[in-house]
């Protein structure tokens, strides 16, 4: 499992951080923050099976990974193989909810969850603002299917702070490494799921990191999650725009992580 997922441990320290990337990226999305975190922590990085960095294309099975449960099982298997318990899980975007599910299944694995620009549901409903209408996500699926190259460029500009062209380019390159057919099936899983009912089962202390303005996840979502999560839950807002604070405000991001680690 660890070999297939390109898992590695960087640095050393009493605390173990498990960094889980989101849709369309790979472990390199953490490159700016790992050197700072590994200075005083043991940092685990890996690639999910959908990532363009994973060598075996057969690892990703669209039917198996049509829910977050299979991803949660993967991270549980990985941490068991690495003999890691009571770590801090840092999940970006979709991985935040995957971490929540894994923590419900195996509370012994994590003593803190850090949920970075995470959402339990992206679709709007009568009583919930997810940020997208069904027609919006259907347009995303259509764009991925009809011209994936063009979509990766336009999507990257939308979700990363455009005042940071280097980070926009990093996401675009990462998306382009992903196979279009994988991107399409995974996008359907991500944008159509509804895991709001999972939140009240989460008892591990949670820290939600959000940005000032994220086009993917409205500002109302962290507040919603904080109200629903059963365990202790705090929200930290980083003064940057977009969905990727670990890219666009990495110094602030590390400061927030350090403060969370110090919070006993």
- Kindly list the catalytic residues: 93, 214, 243
Half-sphere exposure of 17 (CA within 13 A, CB side): 30
| Torsion, Cα of 158, 71, 42, 111 (10° steps) | 100
Q: What b/e sequence results for 16-40 when a residue is b if at least 16 CB atoms lie within 10 Å of its CB, and e otherwise?
A: bbbbbbbbbbbbbbbebbbebbbee
Q: Give the pairing of strands 42-45 and 8-10.
A: antiparallel
Q: Give the pairing of strands 233-241 and 206-213.
A: parallel
- What ranges in the chain are assigned the alpha helix state H? 34-37, 68-81, 94-105, 134-146, 148-159, 165-177, 180-192, 220-228, 245-248, 250-262
Half-sphere exposure of 157 (CA within 13 A, CB side): 4
Contact 87, 109 (CB under 8 A): yes
For residue 165, give both structure tokens.
Answer: 């062209």
Q: Which residues contact 260 (CB under 8 A, 6 or more apart)?
A: 88, 112, 114, 207, 236
For residue 200, give both structure tokens.
Answer: 């009240």
């Amino acid at each position: 499992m660890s070999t297939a997922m390109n898992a590695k441990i960087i640095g050393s320290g009493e605390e173990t951080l498990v960094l889980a990337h989101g849709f369309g990226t790979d472990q390199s999305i953490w490159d700016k923050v790992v050197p700072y975190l590994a200075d005083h922590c043991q940092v685990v990085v890996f690639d999910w099976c959908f990532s363009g960095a994973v060598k075996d294309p057969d690892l990703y099975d669209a039917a198996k990974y049509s829910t977050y449960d299979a991803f949660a099982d993967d991270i549980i298997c990985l941490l068991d193989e690495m003999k890691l318990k009571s770590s801090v899980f840092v999940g970006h975007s979709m991985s935040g909810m995957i971490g929540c599910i894994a923590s419900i299944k195996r509370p012994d694995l994590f003593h803190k969850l850090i949920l970075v620009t995470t959402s339990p549901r992206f679709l709007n409903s009568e009583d919930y603002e997810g940020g997208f209408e069904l027609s919006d996500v259907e347009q995303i699926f259509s764009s991925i299917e009809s011209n994936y190259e063009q979509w990766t460029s336009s999507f990257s500009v939308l979700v990363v702070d455009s005042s940071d062209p280097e980070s926009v380019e990093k996401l675009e390159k990462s998306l382009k490494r992903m196979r279009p057919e994988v991107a399409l099936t995974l996008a359907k899983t991500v944008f159509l799921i509804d895991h709001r009912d999972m939140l009240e089962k989460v008892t591990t202390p949670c820290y939600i990191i959000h940005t000032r303005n994220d086009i993917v996840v409205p500002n109302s979502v962290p507040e919603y999650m904080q109200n629903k999560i059963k365990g202790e839950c705090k929200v930290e807002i980083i003064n940057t725009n977009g969905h990727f604070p670990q890219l666009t405000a990495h110094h602030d991001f590390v400061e927030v992580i350090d403060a969370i680690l110090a919070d006993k």
